[in-house]
Structure 1
Amino acid sequence: MSDHGAAASGGSRRGLMPAFEFNLRTSVQSGQVAVGKFNGRHPSLACATPGGKVFLHSPHEPAAAVAPASSGEDGAEAPATTAPHVRFLNVNRQVTAVATGYMPVRRAGEAAAEASEPVPGDASASRDLLFVGTASSCLAYDVQSNADVFVADATDGAAALVVDRLPGISPADDAATGGAAPAVVAGGNCSLQAFDETGSEAAWLVTSDQVSAMATGRGLGGGAVDASSRDLLVASEDMELRAFRGDNVVMEATETAAVTGLSALAPGSFAYSLSNGTVGVYRGGQRLWRVKARGNATACLAFDLDADGDPEVLSGWASGKVEARRSDNGALVYRERAAAGSAGVAGLVSSDYRMGGSDDQAVVVGADGTVRGFLPVEAEAAAAAAGGGSLMDEKGADDKALDDLQAQKRVAELRLRSLKASVQAIKTGAISSGAIPAGAAVGVVARVVGRPRGGLPDPAAPRPRLELLVRCSARVQLRCAVALSLDAAVFDGESCVAVPLRGADAAAAAAQRLVGTDHDEAALANGALCIAATPPRNAALSLRVKAVAGARATADRFLSFDIPVTLPEFAGWRRMREDEEAKAVLPEGGVAFALKDRPERVAMWLNRSFLASEGPFEVGVQPSAETPSTAAHNGLVLVVEASPQPAGGTAVRLRCDSMAETADVLQSLAASMGVEELVPRMAFPAEMRSIKGLLVAVQEANTVRLRLSADLADGANRVKSLVVRAEDARMRGDIVGMRGAYARLMTVNGELAGEHAKRAANHEALMGALRRINTAVQTAARLRLGPARAQLVADCRAALKTNNMAGMLSALQGAA
């Protein structure tokens, strides 16, 4: 059933030993598992069920203390099949997130001094609260008192919750600690809402998509941090990772699939898991390592196996498997294989759940309610507990170096053997056997194809795309090429394979091929291979191309080439030729600002960030000269103008009708120049008209929602009246009157069902408009650097809450 391993650290090899296992006899939703001390002393599990309930498992509390709370808010008793020490909380809505954490219990209107702060020696005063997120609210529940602390409106939903003291996000100046007060952050539809202990909104931030996971820790975004700094790490469904330090974004990264789990490790690093089976670690804001396996990784947890202060990474899988890897290199140190048919892992938490007073246990909660606990022990004890399972020993640095050298030796021996066979074939005249010529080489060139030989592209023609052109030297033919994506989903999947086409297939491909340069066309005629790539974002990407080549198509000996390829940030943009620039329609929107650097620095950034296949970019160097650099991408035109100012520095103007693309260019240029604060003059007429339309749509949707709510309340009152009439007629024996009341009741019920459908459609339209507005706010914030960025978000939030459309547009346009 299991296959256990152990790690070696400092001479001590440790593993995991099963400590306990039981079944809660109820289903658990994936990712909605938490552990907390609701009475301040004993740990309890809190899990959400698919039926809109949250259950608590408190094995160390007396049965008398647990039994009264086993009924839900509606008074319904817990199912008879439920395990002992389990009580239910009926939320009566679909639960989207569960979290636990300490927060002073203070109702709205109470003074801060009246809040229940932790008292030394009083465990009940420092008890954790239970936080439950739904599609429209965030509930704080005091389990010990069996009372709601607050119910806060989360208009964008609460798909993920986290509780912590976050300077710059949490309420400031906690009376007990002198620092930031605890706050619960709800991640929803393109936004983050922080609530204080009264349920009042303490902060509002924006992100790019629906939030899928969150975590907090020190220095998660990289850079120097002090002891009191805490970063908020946010993952969204568009595969983006962001680290917030206060209200500033200090780290952004894109992964290859949706993030299913986040966990802080040592200061400055964190672990993550993806839905495509990838588990990895970031350190200092950069990816340290990642590994990919079959299956779906559903959760990850930082858990110290060897007590060295550097936690290992535990990952749970949809198959029920549990793995542990070293946080510094990803080496596998432990694996617990699940039996066939086992349910997937719903969540991973760590706590001294047995109350043994020693090490915490890693608690694995399955989707079927099975709970397994693992205790870190010496490797030999773990092997004995597993019935003599195999151990995965960690090799030392010398052993690793020796393994690397032996691998290189085997590769060199294979190459030498192939070369000897080729030499022997040449000596005997058996050239037809496919001897590979000396000096055979393969190269890769990135290009943007689709540029017409004259004028602008036909609107009906295929859009330009980025291609990798794999070319080989003379007397060598490519047999295949495989491109692997290391950073993001550049291909339709994680790799792309290209092989030579023959006969009619080759003719058809040539007829549909987009136009490139004459030099590239000649290379394609000589057997080069094309691999289409689609960068998902404007960021530098790392690829690896593996090509196989032989002397000719019938060769039986081949050489393998491994070629690393780095694409610049804006590889998807192609430089426009002079004849295209003359016919192009220049953008109406853009930004303008001044830099202290010389124009030559802008030219250096252009050549480093774009594919300069048409020659190097240049900018004007005379005070009166202005040489624009024009590029195109997905139907957009970008014009970069840089000219020296008489008083020194450079006047820069970025012209583009897309705020998002302009923000990417501005952020890249500012990072290259070391600019930390910037408030440019901006104007985006087309986008502002679109945002104005969205604000009008939000106003109309809110008006319709209020009217539908009033109609729904009126219908509910009619239902109550008709039910009373029907029951009264039944008691009087008036069958005709009873039938008439029930007939009218059926009609009203149908009307209510129709009104509900209208309200649901209105809600979807409202959420879609708010999502696009939140995205626009985030994009506009990225057009600023420094304190102005946070101020813009705050101004937009205030205008949105008061339904101030003019204030929202004014805040978005800034100084324009």
Structure 2
Amino acid sequence: MEDQDEIQQPEQIINHGQLDLTPTFSYSLNHRILANCAVSAILEPGGNDTLVAVTASNKVVIRETESSLHISDTIRCITTAPFCDGYDAIVIGTETQIIVFDIHNNATLFRRDIPDGVNCFAVGNVADMNPMIFCGGNCAIWGYDKEGNNVYWTVTGDVITCMCICDYDNDGENELIIGSPDFEIRVFKNDLMRSELMETDAVVCLQAVSQDCFGYALANGTIGVYQKEERLWRIKSKNNVSAILRYPSDELMTCVWKMGKIDMRQVDNGDVSSKDQSTSGQVVAACATHSEDPLKAHITVVLSDGKVQGYKLQQRKENNDKTQEMIREFGQKKHNLMMELSNYEQEEQMTEAEKEREQRIPIGTVVNCLYVVNSDERTLNLVLEASNNVTIRAVVIFAEGMFEGESHIWIPGKLEGNGDKATIPIVPEKDAQNDMHIKAFLGAPDAFKLHVFEMSRTVPRFARFALLPFQENWVEPTSYVEFESKQRLFDWVHESFVVDVNSPAFNLDAPQVELRFVGLAPRKNCQLSIKFDKQENKMRIYHDCIETTGNMVQSLAEYFQVHSLTSHASFKPLFDEAEEILGELDAMTDLRDRLTAELQEKQSAVKETLVRAEDSIGIDNIGMARKLYARLKQMDAAARQASLLRSNNQERCVQSLRRLNKIIENSSKLRVGEPGRQIVVACRQAISDDNKQIIVKILEFGASA
């Protein structure tokens, strides 16, 4: 019990903010280091933590050793995996493969080709699966166990930029959480996507910071923490985060910023609980070593020029006396309350004439807020209208991800009439529900004091579509998805679209219902039709964009709590494109292998000619050296041309695979639950079995067809 108390004591001190980060060591790797390519690893049995980093010259260097790994492919990321007996294996991701290397035995455990490359790693176990290495690529995730078997594969909506493993729903089983440039954080349970979290910029960093919480960082400098689908807090900075570390405990997380700042924040509220420490350089990577005693753990910060600095927690020698700080805080609160009391007293002492000179607005003035569709310009407008003919002087709207900078200020250039009406265009960029917090400033045109009205308005998820009355010149989209539904269609439509419930289209008693929508900015040329047959309990959604259609199916399932749904999809142009990609896949792969072999042959010939030319100079045979250098110039040009051809073919292959994975992912979203997961599994199995001709049938009719 005494030992346990000694271990728990630092945790209690940390919670009270009595520890600071202090520098402990500094050295240089003498190489420029790539961003996010440094890890702390135990490379031999019974060894200590050692820094492993990737240099700008594509070498893997190890601290305090002269050995290094030379990789022919361009390295993108690096991590460690506990696949060896008592020590770590180094996991290297390149443009075309994954390499797992045992430094202690100087042996490659396994090497596997990944056609679209590896952008990031996550190592651990998800759900009931054994620990494995998850590789994030272009719209696909690959998983390899310790023997190198490909035991996991699924697709996502965009490129994977970062991943982490966390018990997201606190059910005792881990989930895989990924971030993408399309502003979304996706959570996978096994290989089935469980939820999507919409953010305001590209997700660049994810890290589990406690058992059921994970931290995230965006490209615009925002950091925050999620617990399940609830965002506990977020802050926005002008700087960007290089790394988020689970250090030193589950109550605190450490943020390392690219400009050199390091701070420890409370997981539950984001408050800074340690003094900031600064480095003098551009931070490209950071890692942490852990210990049962937080005072023995440390952080390693790697700068772009190869300098390495270490920090550890140390108890403050002198506890700061916060008495004066508390006195100042309560003094400020007292001052604010006295000012507010003075304003009330002045209000009571003013006469009616003085109030009239201040041009106050009438009592009972209200501001009505509603959405209005401009059918001519195909735009959605937020209209504010004040009663009693009171002028609206300005409007400030705060909406996450809706406007650039997350806020919008409207000030009329010229008042028309009474100026009691404001029309503000709303242009949603994504199919996501959003909350707008609106502040309207009312007052006479020459008044110096304005009245502030605060209100909130929700932007429906599919606000980019507006309901139209019946039109004879309507052109129905050719693509559709059909599924069984016994739910009340109008409830979901009213919740998810901007509609007028008094429209003639809302005929609740009709046996067959058809709702026609037209796309608003920025989708002015899109058309949408939803048909519902009450007798057959079937619903059809006609729309040419499979991604938007999938979002609607998922929204319907979420609204009505449907956990399993099959469907029949007809998106002929898209499925023809998938069939074309599948037909070219083998040819592109064979061509890539042939170009790679030719390039390696030409590179070997260049090296051989260069050695012979240098030998000729060494034996003073200048004539032969001239001939060899002339030949070397021609061979170098041929090698460059071969490299360019291989690069172009590789880029085309990657783009085709990415497009195919995107089509599979969008087709799976046309189903819900297990039927959607089976789409991905069946397509993967068909590709593995070289049975590509049935993939289009799977995408159209489902895996059970």
Distance 2:691 2:309 in 1: 53
Letter of the aligned partner of 1:230 in structure 2? N
SS class of match (1:797): helix
Match of 1:255 in 2: 199
Give the 5 Å matches for 1:531-542. Answer: 531-542=424-435
Match of 2:371 in 1: 446
SS class of match (1:742): helix
SS class of match (1:813): helix
Contact 2:679 2:698 in 1 (8 A): yes
SS class of match (1:319): coil
Contact 1:8 1:14 in 2 (8 A): no
Q: Which of 503, 506, 511 in structure 2 is aligned with 1:625? A: 511
Contact 2:511 2:535 in 1 (8 A): no
SS class of match (1:608): helix
CA deviation profile, 1:415-464 (whole Å, cap 9, x unmatched): 7479669x64x424853x43333233334323443x13xxxxxxxxx6x3
Contact 2:302 2:309 in 1 (8 A): yes
Distance 1:808 1:565 in 2: 44
Distance 2:138 2:549 in 1: 24
Post-superposition offset of 1:742: 3.4
Post-superposition offset of 1:135: 1.4
Contact 2:362 2:388 in 1 (8 A): no
Distance 1:204 1:403 in 2: 60
Q: Matched residues, percent identical? A: 24
Post-superposition offset of 1:723: 5.5
Letter of the aligned partner of 1:437 in structure 2? P
Contact 2:494 2:501 in 1 (8 A): no
**1:34 matches 2:39:** yes
Contact 1:722 1:741 in 2 (8 A): yes
Distance 2:17 2:513 in 1: 65
Match of 2:531 in 1: 641
Match of 1:514 in 2: none
Contact 1:233 1:243 in 2 (8 A): yes
Q: Which of 439, 458, 480 in structure 2 is aligned with 1:546? A: 439
CA deviation profile, 1:766-791 (whole Å, cap 9, x unmatched): 21121111111111111112222222
Instruction: Out of 43-52 and 699-708, give the one that drifted further.
Output: 699-708
TM-score by structure 1 length?
0.76
Post-superposition offset of 1:474: 3.0
Q: Which of 63, 77, 83 in structure 2 is aligned with 1:97? A: 77
Match of 1:76 in 2: none
Letter of the aligned partner of 1:16 in structure 2? D
Distance 1:198 1:155 in 2: 20
Give the 5 Å matches for 1:327-406. Answer: 327-338=267-278, 341-344=280-283, 346-352=285-291, 359-378=296-315, 380-381=316-317
RMSD: 3.6
Instruction: Out of 266-275 and 662-671, give the one that drifted further.
Output: 266-275
Post-superposition offset of 1:184: 0.6
SS class of match (2:647): helix
**1:681 matches 2:568:** yes
SS class of match (1:32): strand
Contact 1:317 1:345 in 2 (8 A): no
Match of 1:765 in 2: 652
Match of 2:95 in 1: 135
Match of 2:59 in 1: 53
State the aligned residue count.
Answer: 687
CA deviation profile, 1:189-227 (whole Å, cap 9, x unmatched): 111110122322111111122211111122x1x3x61x3
Post-superposition offset of 1:738: 4.8
Match of 1:303 in 2: 247
In structure 1, stretches of 5+ residues that fail to align are: 1-5, 58-65, 73-88, 105-124, 169-179, 453-461, 507-523
Q: 1:613 to 1:588 in 2, by over 3 A?
A: same
Match of 2:7 in 1: none
Match of 1:83 in 2: none
Distance 2:241 2:304 in 1: 13
Post-superposition offset of 1:480: 2.0
SS class of match (1:768): helix
Letter of the aligned partner of 1:629 in structure 2? L
**1:468 matches 2:382:** yes
Q: 1:719 to 1:467 in 2, by over 3 A?
A: same
**1:44 matches 2:50:** yes
Q: 1:92 to 1:732 in 2, by over 3 A?
A: closer
Distance 2:576 2:588 in 1: 18
TM-score by structure 2 length?
0.87
Distance 2:301 2:625 in 1: 56
**1:575 matches 2:535:** no
CA deviation profile, 1:126-154 (whole Å, cap 9, x unmatched): 21111111111111111222222112212
Contact 1:276 1:297 in 2 (8 A): no
Q: 1:356 to 1:265 in 2, by over 3 A?
A: closer
Match of 2:630 in 1: 743
CA deviation profile, 1:7-39 (whole Å, cap 9, x unmatched): 988984433241513122444333223222222
Letter of the aligned partner of 1:490 in structure 2? M
Post-superposition offset of 1:563: 2.3
Distance 1:333 1:7 in 2: 13
Q: 1:617 to 1:292 in 2, by over 3 A?
A: farther
**1:324 matches 2:257:** no
Post-superposition offset of 1:272: 1.3
Letter of the aligned partner of 1:245 in structure 2? K
Post-superposition offset of 1:662: 0.9
Match of 1:502 in 2: 414
SS class of match (2:649): helix
Match of 2:122 in 1: 162
Match of 2:157 in 1: 208
Distance 2:671 2:289 in 1: 41
Instruction: Out of 734-743 and 536-545, give the one that drifted further.
Output: 734-743
Distance 2:135 2:571 in 1: 31
SS class of match (2:544): coil
Q: 1:374 to 1:407 in 2, by over 3 A?
A: farther
In structure 2, stretches of 5+ residues that fail to align are: 1-9
Give the 5 Å matches for 1:182-201. Answer: 182-201=131-150
SS class of match (2:18): strand
Match of 1:24 in 2: 28
Contact 1:595 1:652 in 2 (8 A): yes
Letter of the aligned partner of 2:264 in structure 1? A
